[in-house]
Amino acid sequence: MKLVRYGEPGRERPGLIDADGVLRDLKGHVQDIRGPAFQEQTMDRLRSIRPETLPAVEEDVRFGMPVGGIRKIVCIGLNYTDHARETGNEPPKEPIAFFKPNTCLTGPNDPIVLLRNSRHTDWEVELAVVIGKHTKYVEEADALDHVAGYCVANDVSERKFQAKGTGQWILGKSGDTYCPLGPLFVTADEVPDPQNLRLWLDVNGERMQDGTTANMIFGVAHLIHFVSQFMTLEPGDIVLTGTPAGVGVGRDPKVFLKEGDVVSLGIDGLGQQRSVIAPPE
């Protein structure tokens, strides 16, 4: 299934995109697309609905992030061989983990609002994994059974704030709107191999990133296993799995986002985002 949340910020309604790309209203069938809905019986019930029996939504709507009530966003850094190389780093021996706060989250086509005094805001197209079950000390062989589905994410990063002082990455990763998510939440049964997805990103129509999840250093199953040795992952938590080469800080000369720029990005089968860069509040 391709599930979405649509409507005004904070008042999104659950929906489904049918095989013809038509948005259908799921109101009355599920309260929201969020952690508690990922129980198998709820998902099976939604799967049993014939989409053509759901009301079509004809008007132009805003898409919100496709998963509501997200409590934590665990991120993995330098997880693609080509991206580690472009930043001048050795491929890590074990996953590098950090967090983004859930206040970063915004819809897939909402503006990205620059942090005050930012001159080094950069882009990172990433495969976002949505956890479906209580996950603690999970074996790698069982880890994909804990995945509810996948989304497109942009791990927007302020490189100066990420590197300055003592180099606390979190300070460059945490701006409001610095994590557009969606538009689709694609259930795991429709993504048979998360290590075979093409992902790309354009700035003002110019291709900047063009990679494949096949180049991840640590695959999705290993990442979930690894993170679950240190914390519990709950239904609706998100794991961002790193970005391929082509970020602005890796280019010569370096390129960063400024007011009015348009960032478009997507992953095969998971949909596309389009964000306009807005000035600081």
Binding residues for Zn ion, rule: CB under 5 A, are: 124, 155, 243
Smallest gap from residue 278 Cβ to Zn ion (A): 21
CB-wise, 162 or 187, nearer to Zn ion?
Answer: 162
Give the Cβ contact number of residue 214 at 10 Å: 13
CB-wise, 30 or 257, nearer to Zn ion?
Answer: 257
Smallest gap from residue 244 Cβ to Zn ion (A): 10
Smallest gap from residue 189 Cβ to Zn ion (A): 26
Answer left, alpha or beta for residue 261, where phi above 0 means left and psi between -120 and 50 means alpha: beta
Smallest gap from residue 40 Cβ to Zn ion (A): 31
CB-wise, 155 or 261, nearer to Zn ion?
Answer: 155
103, 72 in Cβ contact below 8 A? no
CB-wise, 243 or 275, nearer to Zn ion?
Answer: 243
Tokens of 136: 């603690």
Using Cβ positions, the residue closest to Zn ion within the complex turns out to be: 155
Smallest gap from residue 100 Cβ to Zn ion (A): 9
* Integer CA distances (angstroms), 243 to 92, 93, 240, in order: 14, 17, 9
CB-wise, 174 or 187, nearer to Zn ion?
Answer: 174
SS (H, E, C) 31-97: CCCEHHHHCHHHHHHHHCCCHHHCCECCCCCCECCCCECCCCEEEEECCEHHHHHHCCCCCCCCCEE
CB-wise, 118 or 187, nearer to Zn ion?
Answer: 118
Smallest gap from residue 197 Cβ to Zn ion (A): 16
